[in-house]
Amino acid sequence: MSTGPFAFFPMIFGHEAVGVVESVEEHVEEFQEGDMVVPVFRPNCRECRDCKSQKGNGCSIFGGELVPAMPRDKTSRFKGMNGETLYHFLSVSSFSEYTVVDVVNVVKISPEFPVDKACLLSCGISTGIGAAWKVADIEEGSTVAIFGLGTVGLAVAEGARLRGASKIIGVDLNQEKIEIGKQFGVTKFINPTTCGEKKISEVIKEKTDGGADYCFECIGLASLMEDAFNSSRVNWGKTVILGLEMHRTPLPVNTSLLLRGRSVTGCLFGGLKPKSDIPFLAQKYLHKELNLDGFITHEVGFGDINKAFDLLLEGKSLRCIIRMD
């Protein structure tokens, strides 16, 4: 039986968006009507010990659990046509013309930023770039291997490119990702089905003189997490887990390899603190340093939302902009 925040229905889905503040409740001082904002699933109250620390991006007041309601009183702000309760999704619920979001889950964006691009900073792209910059902290000349070239994986590549990585290896089963990957800095593409009897980790070690300095798993499979770890360099290789393991399978790690200096870590939202880091990424885009436009492959109206899901499942779409009008 399914449990947790995804088991409540009916629910308003959607968690990457941009919007304009229609109204604010009493005691809200950070926002005012007319502000352009980006909602985020990762809360950032800026007052707790975790939010003030530079060691992570958690929030000890609002980040303890995902609830299908408002984080402060655990109640819903949505009702159906017949008065039934509609549940919240990841504190955002953006597949709606109007939504209600707590101040800890929304970030103000400069009015100079193009509104049709702002939703791209709401989750996936920010996660990948943040993982490259804040969690891995890639240095110039580093070698990088990325398992999964979806939006998150390509955003990792973009972050690695901007940090001056010397080799960025993309691993994916979809051959169409070869040309797409080049747009974001991928220098070598590997399809595991073409490696013959060699393990993917062996191929990567050959191409990186002993293993990649940084490996990223962006799919959500324990087997790929293990491959990523085994592809990292002895003595200092770091593996960053971004994918949510879809089967809840444990990750087997050879502890003797950890003793020799390899490490593995995970992150949510790329280790970014939404209130400060999203505006920073927005400025990078405005200064023409960050490629966001390349992630937009399709645009549809809200009435064609199922088409957007089909494109995603078929591997033909990175980010499909859904217009509510």
Instruction: Name the pLDDT band for 5 (thresholds 50, 70, 90).
Output: low
Checking if the pLDDT of 219 tops 60, the result is yes
CATH of 19-122, one of 3.90.180.10, 3.40.50.1220, 3.30.70.20, 3.90.1150.10: 3.90.180.10
Strands 78-79 and 85-86: antiparallel
Helix or strand run (H / E) with residue 49? helix 49-52
Of all residues in the chain, the percent with pLDDT exceeding 70 is 98
Helix or strand run (H / E) with residue 206? helix 200-207
Please state, in angstroms and rounded to a whole number, the distance separating the CA atoms of residues 227 and 9.
36
Mean pLDDT of 217-244: 97
Mean pLDDT of 192-207: 95
Please state, in angstroms and rounded to a whole number, the distance separating the CA atoms of residues 107 and 91.
13
Domain spans in the chain, listed from the N-terminal domain onward = 19-122, 124-271
Strands 214-217 and 238-241: parallel
Mean pLDDT of 159-178: 97
Checking if the pLDDT of 218 tops 80, the result is yes
Please state, in angstroms and rounded to a whole number, the distance separating the CA atoms of residues 29 and 300.
35
What confidence score (pLDDT) does residue 1 get? 39
Mean pLDDT, the chain, integer: 95
Burial class for 56, CB neighbours closer than 10 Å (0-12, 13-18, 19+): middle
Q: Which CATH architecture has domain 124-271?
A: 3-Layer(aba) Sandwich (3.40)
* 325's tokens: 């009008």
Q: What is the dihedral of CA 4, 10, 11, 12, to 10 degrees?
A: 170
